[in-house]
Structure 1
Amino acid sequence: MPRSTSLPWSPFARSFARDVLAELARARILLDRALSQRPHGMAAVADIETLPLADRVAADYRGVPAASTMTEAEIAACIAAGRDPWAEDLHGRPHKRMISAPLAGMSMALRILAQMPTEDDLRRVGKSGALTAISMPSRAERTYLHQEAHDLLTAVSRAAKVRGIAWENPAIRIHGADTDGVRRDHARERTEFESALNRSIARGKPICAVVGFPHDLPGNGYAVADRVFPMPTLSAEMVLELLRATHSVTGEIAEDAVRDRLPNDDKLASLPPPLLEHAFAAETTLEVTERLSRYVERRKPASGPILDDMALPTSLRNDLDSMLADLGAWRTGSLDWSEVSSSLCLSGPPGTGKTLLASALAGSAGIPLVATSYAECQRHGHQGDALRALHDAVEKAMTEAPAVVLIDELDSFMVRGGDSHSARYNVGMVNGLLEQLTRLHEAPGVLLIGATNHPERVDPAILRHGRFDRHHTLREPDQAGIRLILARNLGGGSGCLDLAPHAVRLSGCSGATVAAVARDAKSRARREGATIREDHLDAAIQQMAPDRYGEHVWRIAVHEAGHVVVNWRLTGEIPGKVRITPHGGEVAGAHRPVETLDSAHDRIAALLAGRAAERVLIGSISSGAADDLRQATELAYNMKHVWVLDDEHLLALPPSTGRMLPGTPLGDDLERVLRGEAERAEELVHGAKDLVATLAHDLVEQREVSAEKIKTILERMLGDRRVETTSNSTRPTGSTLG
């Protein structure tokens, strides 16, 4: 829900605003009279004498409130029946709402004039050479203002003339409004706005420049601007003034009763113009307030996930909680947005909950989520259309602030380079995204979440600090997280189920797969007309994540245990966890940002230790080490020919598969490195066969073994000698070995 930016009314602002409303009403009444005299056969218009403001504007009669002769009990009974005795005329003149009331213009007038607390403030706006800038995030509202600007300025001019206030109507220049039904390219819109503004500045006339956000005002505009202020949101006080003008023949309303029924200012600020106008189509003041209250309640966001529904790494959860705390402080006015770290980039394989996390963040904050992606933008057409779609999504988030905006598929905004057509196209897309990230960085109340499956493919300028302040990697949930996902998706029926053994079977599955299992289990129960049972979950798991046979599981466990034990023997590091997944195994460890010659050799040995463990404990090797061999080969090449860690030469060579084939000098050189480390890994496994086997047995039984459990096994096998876990190796997110 947008934060209210309503302002208290000064005596001058309230008084002058009433004069402007009367002028707007007079103009509309004259129009209605003209329409009522249409030739025969055209649609009739109600008798102008029944319009509430007709007599007030004519100034020859003002109705006397019916409540003036009522007792308090009679007034209360009248209000309870939905009538407003203060708005009704004592002498029985018909009470009808104003036909075709210029509500958009009236509400715009009230909101702008709230920023004019004194006569001098108003006079400065209409002074020659003055430039007043108004920031109005909503494009729809800027379009409304464009449509109403002429009538609004005319009304202000007439009201100022009656009071003897020197005033010259300013030129209205609006950036980003749908002025002729044609949606222009964002760059063209900005160019046209800047040109029109420069022409007005050169003429020396007063100007009112309306922009989405202060940073949309061009440099020349900033140079001459006398004042830049945000457009106040609609407030309860403004609604009362509107009701006096549109729903009363006396100029009075049952103010206390109306005020009690009105939503608060924050909720009123969330109402778009069409709903406001629909509410004011009601017959009485009380019916208007009932509609307004009903609309804001119905616009509450549907219940969705919150952060407490997700099992998240501690560091990530802490950052998200910090973002929520800062957002709350900003909403109360105790923290400037420039002090808020408001952006976070999530990376990780598909199905790990990146999109769900953005939704949960919005749910925890009670604010809307605006989601877009590279594919969603591309769906709109050529590059210009795609960039406009991205711009519109960003503007929507900024308009609805506070809000969360999710930009998915960042890896499609790839590293810039090359001169092909596709490379030039990519440059345009990346530059367009960078422009929007800059806007978001400066947008108060917008929390930015980026998501990518392949962070290494993203253009570095996108991921740098200042665009994304925090970076986290999401992996598949651990067993505690799986139990939480199952419980949430199964609903109340999960209370009688033991989810622990099911979580073991689902170990290594993505959060999306776990949620799908829960939905499938519920579907099976519904088809039977029964409450959910263990066998429903068993069948769903077997369908979506079938168990592997015993020999296969044992081989995976031995392979992963070999990685863990050899890496620990060489570096002293214990991984955050090791587990069996539906696609093999996984060791979650820390990424080493800097390699030395020794550390690179140790890492190659650890990569080849899974294959060595299979050979030593099972007597044969399998295809499961394919990725290990790829990583080890890449690391060996980098060690010798990219990082040049052996210091034999200073020539860095780009990789070439042809030059690395067996029998070539380069291939034979890398083969010697790999063979040497494979032999070292096999020796280490031979020396710790019992340790590898024990860890493998635990892994087969539990499917997931934590760092603490690994420490316990090591201490038990080493005669209770204390084993230290290095501080950087127990992170639940990071690179994967194995």
Structure 2
Amino acid sequence: MTLSRISMPKSDDEPTPNSTEILSRLALDQLITKTLDARLKEENPLLVLIAVKSPSWARALREQLTRRYPQTCVRSYKGDKRSASSQEEDHLLLALNDGQSGIGVSTDIVAQVPEALRNSADFTLYFAGLSPVSLRKAIGLVTGQPVRRLPKLRLDGLDLADLAAAIRPGSTPAQCIKRLQLTLERKASDLGVPDDAVPVSALPLSPEVRAWSEEVLTSLRLLEEGKISMRRSPFSVLAGPTGSGKSKLAEAIAKAAGWQLIQTSAQDWFDRSDGFLGGVARQTNSFFQSLENNPKTIGFVDEIEAIPDRATMDERNREWWTTIVTGILVQVDRLRRSPTPALLIGATNYPERVDSALLRHGRLGRLVRVEPPRDLAAITDIFRYYLKEDLRDDELLRLVHMSMAFGHPTPASVENWVGAARVAAMAAGRSLTLLDLETAIGGTDDRPHAERYRVAIHEAGHAVIAAHLDVPISSVSIIGQPGSAGSMLAEIRTTDLDRHSLEHLVTVALAGRAADQILLGLSDAAATSDLKLATRLLFNAHFVWGLYDHLTAIEGDTKGPLVLDPEARGVIDAKLQELLVRAQSLVGEHRESIERLADALLRARVISGTAVRDLVLKSRVWGPAPRERAKP
């Protein structure tokens, strides 16, 4: 007869222990050694502090400790309620003074337990999770059957509720183990790096961002090996405009390091809760708890500017947000002290809006600028990354110039263009062509020929005069976009301007209007943006940068001073008239080049700055138009 198979009746006063009860009891057995157990039952008072990974383990262990050591004062510390901590400090101190032992349980001893107790504790214990031995015992006790084989499981990723939900009475050990494996798989899918993520080494990055990425990967390796603590984990904020590749960079770092990734945003914390203070706080706590419960995980918080700077808020909003922001700061500090290897990365389009305490050194102290590429080579690298070997170098260069007609393209915009072109090619049942990509970037132009020619003359006027005055340009285009029928992209920084180069730049801004007047005999309202640019440049030169006789620097919007000050308006208008006459003279002198460039724009839609300079210097004769663009 096998005694372990006999079902012994229980008295009505002895409830059947459930899974949670068994798991927490075994956790306490694992935590309290026989020696410590004996000392807690002696008359000499002891003070023991226990750090656990989650509030659920804290509650369960407190209940078990209270039952097992009824003569001991057991207290738990929750959240960042320091007033509660002070009260419980008195309880434990009173217990010690009365000859009674005291036990404090906390998810963050440093932040939640008063310093006096931390310094005087006889034992400080850390419960990282249930061990395989304890898990095997738990499954056997709950199911009433022996566990013949326990596979290797990542138990540090499972909380008490996960274990209790998987280990159920009436199940076999194999069924319990299968549920545990499924739970871990589903949790891993929430933490996984996207399948299409690539390692950092494959991304086209600026030298600064690549250096930061390599430094982060080195730190993650050292964290894994235990050679550095979490205090040296390179928590950072990635700052850059929409589409600059911040989230893709976080994915690439996780892929290269072999770490997991949790992606969230401040907006997610609201969307996944009831939107009230308590619900949002629970979501933020859950995010940080996931980082602590899952070693080797990167937490990526997008749109972190949604956690606003309290210094810029009114009293009512500040009162509400202070609770949330303070809670987040406490969680960041706690993560810094955690023994679990983790990395926290924030991302924002507006770093100036993020709460300054969050950006402080020791929290998310490092700001990394992830800007769209600014030069031809960098943009070419991004296109080549997404296109692989699908285009020749000369075709790729033309594509880059076309994209720059819209300013500086972001990695996201390049990815979208290439994706749309590939879909169009697949729908047509053929390989990708340059025309597919040109259409994806610039669309089709169904404007009447006369309108396209007028735009071409206007933009050619800008470009030819820019080349004549040695104002560097990237490209000139007649591709229409919101607010503009065409464009010319100049490569110049206002910080590099002196009076001479400033007047060259204003002349270029007015050259489109001059070309309209001289070559087409018209002057319409379509060039308003040119006049605004010229006016703003001259105003800044006179009243902000000190390039003329005025030394008074005016801050703020330029519209007010011009409207209110007739003298300032007169100074600006006189210079505008002078430089327009200069632009008209230059347009007349270079009329033939402008017309030739306009004809080329009708065929090609986009011309590089190098080609424009070749035309002006008469060092190059235009070749035949591309076949797709031969007819306007």
1:231 aligns with 2:127: yes
2:300 aligned counterpart, secondary structure: strand
Residue 217 (structure 2) aligns with: 324
Q: 1:403 aligns with which of 289, 295, 298?
A: 298
* Residues 414 and 457 in structure 1, CA contact (< 8 A), matched pair in contact too: yes
1:150 aligns with 2:24: no
* Residues 566 and 606 in structure 1, CA contact (< 8 A), matched pair in contact too: no
Please list the CA deviations of residues 28-84 of structure 1 after superposition, one character each: whole Å capped at 9, or x if unmatched. x99x8245999xxxxxx8xxxxxxxxxxxxxxxxxxxxxxxxxxxxxxxxxxxxxxx
Kindly tell me: are residues 100 and 449 of structure 1, through their superposed partners in 2, closer, same or farther at Cα, counting changes over 3 Å?
closer
Tell me the TM-score normalised to structure 1 length. Answer: 0.60
| Higher relative contact order, chain-length normalized (CA < 8 Å, sep 6+) | 1
Residue 24 (structure 2) aligns with: 105
Q: 1:203 Cα deviation (Å)?
A: 1.9
- What CA distance in whole angstroms lies between the structure 2 residues aligned with 1:227 and 1:566? 81
Q: 1:664 Cα deviation (Å)?
A: 1.1
Q: 1:599 aligns with which of 490, 493, 497?
A: 497
1:608 aligned counterpart, secondary structure: helix
Q: 1:333 Cα deviation (Å)?
A: 1.3
Residue 343 (structure 1) aligns with: 236
* Residues 410 and 450 in structure 1, CA contact (< 8 A), matched pair in contact too: no
* Residues 108 and 145 in structure 1, CA contact (< 8 A), matched pair in contact too: no
1:440 aligns with 2:332: yes
* Residues 513 and 527 in structure 2, CA contact (< 8 A), matched pair in contact too: no
TM-align CA RMSD: 5.6
> What percentage of aligned pairs have identical amino acids?
17
Kindly tell me: are residues 102 and 517 of structure 1, through their superposed partners in 2, closer, same or farther at Cα, counting changes over 3 Å?
same
Residue 200 (structure 1) aligns with: 91
Kindly tell me: are residues 382 and 283 of structure 1, through their superposed partners in 2, closer, same or farther at Cα, counting changes over 3 Å?
closer
Q: One-letter code of the match for 1:443? A: L
* Residues 214 and 228 in structure 1, CA contact (< 8 A), matched pair in contact too: no
Kindly tell me: are residues 482 and 111 of structure 1, through their superposed partners in 2, closer, same or farther at Cα, counting changes over 3 Å?
farther
Residue 384 (structure 1) aligns with: 277
Q: 1:190 aligns with which of 81, 85, 89?
A: 81
2:81 aligned counterpart, secondary structure: helix
* Residues 301 and 345 in structure 2, CA contact (< 8 A), matched pair in contact too: yes
Residue 608 (structure 1) aligns with: 506
- What CA distance in whole angstroms lies between the structure 1 residues aligned with 2:350 and 2:567? 33
- What CA distance in whole angstroms lies between the structure 1 residues aligned with 2:278 and 2:531? 45
* Residues 402 and 441 in structure 2, CA contact (< 8 A), matched pair in contact too: no
Residue 475 (structure 1) aligns with: 372
- What CA distance in whole angstroms lies between the structure 1 residues aligned with 2:38 and 2:466? 74
- What CA distance in whole angstroms lies between the structure 1 residues aligned with 2:64 and 2:161? 19
Residue 163 (structure 2) aligns with: 276
Q: 1:210 aligns with which of 106, 112, 120?
A: 106
Q: 1:636 Cα deviation (Å)?
A: 4.9
Q: 1:665 Cα deviation (Å)?
A: 2.0
- What CA distance in whole angstroms lies between the structure 2 residues aligned with 1:563 and 1:438? 59
- What CA distance in whole angstroms lies between the structure 1 residues aligned with 2:616 and 2:465? 19
Q: 2:35 aligns with which of 107, 119, 135?
A: 119
* Residues 579 and 585 in structure 1, CA contact (< 8 A), matched pair in contact too: yes
1:666 aligns with 2:568: yes
Q: One-letter code of the match for 2:10? A: R
How do residues 330-729 of structure 1 correspond to structure 2 at under 5 angstroms?
330-348=223-241, 350-365=242-257, 366-374=259-267, 377=270, 384=277, 388=281, 391-392=284-285, 394-396=287-289, 398-399=291-292, 400=294, 402-408=297-303, 410=305, 413=308, 416-417=311-312, 424-425=316-317, 429=321, 432-433=324-325, 436=328, 439-440=331-332, 443-444=335-336, 445-455=341-351, 467-475=364-372, 478=379, 480-482=381-383, 484-485=385-386, 508=406, 512=412, 534=432, 538=436, 541=439, 545-547=443-445, 551=453, 554=456, 558=460, 561=463, 565=467, 583=481, 585=487, 587=489, 595=495, 599=497, 601=499, 604-605=502-503, 608=506, 610-615=508-513, 619=519, 630=532, 633-634=535-536, 636-637=538-539, 640-641=542-543, 655=557, 657-661=559-563, 664-671=566-573, 703=606
The alignment covers a number of residue pairs equal to 572
Residue 49 (structure 2) aligns with: 132
Kindly tell me: are residues 394 and 608 of structure 1, through their superposed partners in 2, closer, same or farther at Cα, counting changes over 3 Å?
farther
Q: One-letter code of the match for 2:27? A: M
- What CA distance in whole angstroms lies between the structure 2 residues aligned with 1:665 and 1:324? 59
Q: 1:326 Cα deviation (Å)?
A: 1.5
Q: 1:105 Cα deviation (Å)?
A: 0.5
Q: 1:382 Cα deviation (Å)?
A: 6.5
* Residues 374 and 412 in structure 1, CA contact (< 8 A), matched pair in contact too: no
- What CA distance in whole angstroms lies between the structure 1 residues aligned with 2:360 and 2:454? 43
Q: 1:146 Cα deviation (Å)?
A: 0.8
Residue 625 (structure 2) aligns with: none
* Residues 611 and 622 in structure 1, CA contact (< 8 A), matched pair in contact too: no
2:227 aligned counterpart, secondary structure: coil
- What CA distance in whole angstroms lies between the structure 2 residues aligned with 1:222 and 1:693? 82
- What CA distance in whole angstroms lies between the structure 1 residues aligned with 2:204 and 2:366? 22
- What CA distance in whole angstroms lies between the structure 2 residues aligned with 1:173 and 1:713? 75
* Residues 566 and 685 in structure 1, CA contact (< 8 A), matched pair in contact too: no
1:172 aligned counterpart, secondary structure: strand
Kindly tell me: are residues 694 and 539 of structure 1, through their superposed partners in 2, closer, same or farther at Cα, counting changes over 3 Å?
closer
Kindly tell me: are residues 625 and 376 of structure 1, through their superposed partners in 2, closer, same or farther at Cα, counting changes over 3 Å?
farther
How do residues 3-82 of structure 1 correspond to structure 2 at under 5 angstroms?
33-34=10-11
Q: 1:410 Cα deviation (Å)?
A: 1.6
- What CA distance in whole angstroms lies between the structure 2 residues aligned with 1:646 and 1:101? 79
Kindly tell me: are residues 680 and 294 of structure 1, through their superposed partners in 2, closer, same or farther at Cα, counting changes over 3 Å?
same
- What CA distance in whole angstroms lies between the structure 1 residues aligned with 2:30 and 2:395? 56
Q: 1:408 Cα deviation (Å)?
A: 0.5
1:368 aligned counterpart, secondary structure: strand
Please list the CA deviations of residues 603-655 of structure 1 after superposition, one character each: whole Å capped at 9, or x if unmatched. 74465354244356665778786566556655655555556676855675655
Please list the CA deviations of residues 304-333 of structure 1 after superposition, one character each: whole Å capped at 9, or x if unmatched. 342447544343233223323322221221
Kindly tell me: are residues 403 and 132 of structure 1, through their superposed partners in 2, closer, same or farther at Cα, counting changes over 3 Å?
same
Q: 1:143 Cα deviation (Å)?
A: 2.4
Q: 1:588 Cα deviation (Å)?
A: 8.1
* Residues 142 and 174 in structure 1, CA contact (< 8 A), matched pair in contact too: no
Q: One-letter code of the match for 1:102? A: E
Q: 1:398 Cα deviation (Å)?
A: 3.6
2:188 aligned counterpart, secondary structure: coil
- Structure 2, gaps ≥5 residues long: 1-6, 97-101, 621-632
- Structure 1, gaps ≥5 residues long: 1-28, 39-44, 46-97, 159-167, 177-188, 489-493, 721-738
- What CA distance in whole angstroms lies between the structure 2 residues aligned with 1:679 and 1:648? 24
Kindly tell me: are residues 625 and 536 of structure 1, through their superposed partners in 2, closer, same or farther at Cα, counting changes over 3 Å?
closer
Q: 1:246 Cα deviation (Å)?
A: 5.1
